[in-house]
Amino acid sequence: MRLISYLSIFILHFVLYGQTNTKFTTLKSALNEPEKAKWLELNCKDEQPLSQLEQLVNVQQLYLKDCALKELPKEIGKLQKLTLLNVQNNQLTFLSAELEALANLSVINLRGNDFEKFPSVITKLPKLREIDLTDNAKLDFSDVIEQLQQVEKLDFLYLSENNLTTLPEQLSLLNALQELHLTNNPNLDLTQAFSVLSKTASLKILVLDENQITGIPSSLSKMTQLEGLVLDGNPNIRLDQLSNQLEKLQGLKVLLLRNSQIEKLPENLDAFNKLAVLELSGNRFSETEQARIKNGLPDTNVVF
């Protein structure tokens, strides 16, 4: 799930772990071939106790999604080769200290759980680079961001679906952060958010899809470090205001405006002509308008 190129933003830039590995969906099958068990995606109906995970020392990716877990088996801490842990859509309120032993963990997905306090064990994982905290609205995100300053390699952060209204000022201190997802936070104060993010010097990609965005505050133009901007699913977005701000974002290379019921871009396309990629699929452009845009942006890869 790493950022690998501008075009990777199209597919949410997932790097497929274990492309040559077999996916095991039950503990029983994995225990029968423990040497091959590197990718474990359990269906939660397995009759084997999760404590037996400690026997699968070669596991690199572990998925325990939608399992109604209130706590994780402590045996996970013995999976020294684990690089990815996905426990989304459970009922977790804490993570045990045993997870501190996961020295190779680089990706953790905690979306859709019941955390009220940020699990501090996360700050002790030396290789951690990606954290998904989507749909954990009970968290105090000022405290979260303050603690995340200890995750030195963090460059990919999901804070989507958390009813955010503002962003903590400390977010600008996440010195390695390159990509931030803020999907479906419709009450987010964009003026304040852009002001904070403009100070986050390492930030390259910002995802703001499905945020009911209408006007584009002028503070967007302060984010001169941006290379990719995702605004999908915002059907009421003011394209004239967006166009005015884009002209000031000289480094922007990728813009996504998919699924937004757009029928026409502004007559003047100059604000878009420095883009490498303009993704407009899922909209309502006529063939005539598509041709006008293509002709007006000959050096941009325009996708309808």
Please indicate, yes or no, whether the overall pTM of this predicted structure exceeds 0.85: yes
Q: What confidence score (pLDDT) does residue 20 get? A: 64
Q: CATH classification of 1-156 is 1.10.1040.10, yes or no?
A: no
Q: CATH classification of 163-304 is 3.80.10.10, yes or no?
A: yes
Tokens of 117: 């306090």
pLDDT, tens digit, 9 for 90 and up, residues 37-79: 999 999 887 778 999 999 999 999 999 999 999 999 999 999 9
pLDDT, tens digit, 9 for 90 and up, residues 288-302: 999 999 999 999 999
pLDDT, tens digit, 9 for 90 and up, residues 218-242: 999 999 999 999 999 999 999 999 9
**In degrees to the nearest 10, what's the CA dihedral of 181, 154, 73, 43?**
40
Phi, psi of 130 (to 5 degrees): -135, 130
Q: What value does the mean pLDDT of the chain take? A: 93
Decide if pLDDT at 17 tops 70: no
Give the Å distances, CA to CA, from 168 to 143, 173, 179, 197, 209.
9, 10, 16, 10, 20
Q: Which residues belong to CATH 3.80.10.10 in the chain?
A: 1-156, 163-304
